Amino acid sequence: MRCANVIASMVFFAATLAHADSLRAFTSDGCSLFPDGDFNHRKLWCDCCLEHDIAYWRGGTSEQRLQADRQLHDCVLSKTNNNILADMMFAGVRLGGGPIFPNWYRWGYGWNYGRGYQPLSPLETQTADNLLNQYRASGKRFACEL
C-alpha cells in the first residue's frame, strides 16, 4: 500500500509540474502601458502592438524578442512616419518587457513566471499555434478591434 501511495504522489507531482509549465490562452490589451494611437486615430498602431503581444505571449529566445521589438518599431514607424515615437516604444519594450519582470506584459507572459529566454519545442510551437487559432475562431475581439 505504501508503494501505491508513493507512486500516486509521484504521478500527482509530475502532473502538477506539467500543468505549471503549460501555455495559457492568448490575451492582449493592445499597447499595454502606452496609447494605441493618437488623438485623431485612436487605434493607429494598435495592430503593431497586437502582433508584438503575440510574440511576447509565446516567448522564446532573446533573439526572437529582439526581432519582435524591432518589428514593433518598424510597424509603428510605417504607420506614423514618426521615428521619435517608434524609438520611444522600442526603448520602452526593451527596458520593461524582459522575462525577469513579474508582470502581465513580460516576454513569455503566456507561461508561468521563470521560463526566461527558452526556445519553444516543436510541441510548444504547435500548442501556441493551436491556442492562437482557437482565440481567433472564438469570436473574441482583439483590443485593437474594440
SS (H, E, C) 57-96: HHCCCHHHHHHHHHHHHHHHHHHHCCHHHHHHHHHHHHHH
pLDDT in tens, 50-63: 999 999 999 999 99
Q: How far apart are CA 135 and CA 129, in angstroms?
A: 10
**pLDDT category of residue 142 using cuts at 50, 70 and 90:** confident
- Residue 119: DSSP 8-state: P
pLDDT value of position 139 = 81
The CA-based angle 17-23-29, given to 5 degrees, is: 140
Q: Decide if pLDDT at 18 tops 50.
A: no
pLDDT value of position 10 = 41
**pLDDT category of residue 144 using cuts at 50, 70 and 90:** confident
**Number of domains within the chain:** 1
| 58 and 27 Cβ atoms separated by less than 8 Å | no
pLDDT value of position 35 = 94
Asked, for residue 117, whether it belongs to a domain, the answer is yes
pLDDT value of position 17 = 40
Asked, for residue 8, whether it belongs to a domain, the answer is no
pLDDT value of position 115 = 96
Q: How far apart are CA 45 and CA 92, in angstroms?
A: 15
Q: Decide if pLDDT at 8 tops 70.
A: no
Domain that holds residue 98: 28-145
Distances (CA, A) of 12 to 1, 18, 108, 131, 146: 17, 10, 26, 25, 42
Asked, for residue 139, whether it belongs to a domain, the answer is yes
**pLDDT category of residue 141 using cuts at 50, 70 and 90:** confident
pLDDT value of position 146 = 73
Residue found under cell 491556442: 131
Asked, for residue 91, whether it belongs to a domain, the answer is yes
